[in-house]
Amino acid sequence: MKIIQITSGPADTNGFLIYDDESKDAVLIDVPPGSAEFFTRKINENKLNLNAIWLTHSHWDHTGDVPKIQEKFANADLLVHKDDEYRCLEPMKGTKFSLPFKIQPCFPNKYYADGDTVTVGSISFDILHTPGHTEGSVSLVNNADKTVFVGDVLFKNGIGRTDLFGGDYKLLISTIKTKLYTLPDDYTVLNGHGMKTTIGAEKVNNPFVKA
């Protein structure tokens, strides 16, 4: 599994290009504002076939450049958990403050749920429904490379905010303990903001939720 990361947009949001070097099939995990040109360049440089966009959740800072990517790669499916679809369709609603810029809507055509498996080339990911930051937040677990993409559920020494519409602090803590902390300690956590960490490190060091 090859991973190319960008940190982009006013919220310094992480987006990821994942691809199978043999088949050249690729997916994007989250597409923050300002990332489309970078991702397009990397897809073309590596001669990749973009199959899909997988959203960890539907906050605007993770979906902002989805429409630009879909303009260039019309055959790429857009996947999200059904509980988070409404924000994709109306991204300017439900924000804590009025945004000083326009976020265009995007339109999922496929959905995943807890326990599903999604693939890119020969690489597979298990879907964990990990609500609390949003209703439909998901984490994508690649067991072969011991990696989990968690969106804004868990950070290095931090957790996702729950003061936005759809957030639930108690549910988020339960989600981390019962879903993410059941993964092996050596799994790398790639999140939506900030530096990567591991499940084991957060069990010991996270001041909000320790194992």
pLDDT of residue 100: 81
Query: Is 94 a residue whose pLDDT tops 80?
Result: no
Query: Is 101 a residue whose pLDDT tops 90?
Result: no
Q: Residue 59 domain-assigned? A: yes
Q: Which CATH number covers residue 139?
A: 3.60.15.10
Q: Residue 55 domain-assigned? A: yes
Give the mean model confidence (pLDDT) for residues 72-100. Answer: 90
Tens-place pLDDT, residues 17-41: 999 999 999 999 999 999 999 999 9
pLDDT of residue 18: 98
Q: Residue 210 domain-assigned? A: no
Give the mean model confidence (pLDDT) for residues 95-115. Answer: 90
Give the mean model confidence (pLDDT) for residues 120-138. Answer: 98
Total domains, the chain: 1
pLDDT of residue 97: 72
Domain containing 149 equals: 2-91+106-205
Q: Residue 101 domain-assigned? A: no
Tens-place pLDDT, residues 137-193: 999 999 999 999 999 999 999 999 999 999 999 999 999 999 999 999 999 999 999
Query: Is 196 a residue whose pLDDT tops 90?
Result: yes
Query: Is 208 a residue whose pLDDT tops 90?
Result: yes
Q: How many CA atoms lie within 13 A of 178 on its CB side?
A: 10
CB environment 78-103: b (16+ within 10 A), e (fewer) = bbbbebbbbbbeebeeeeeeeeeeeb
Query: Is 98 a residue whose pLDDT tops 80?
Result: no
Q: Residue 96 domain-assigned? A: no
Q: Residue 97 domain-assigned? A: no
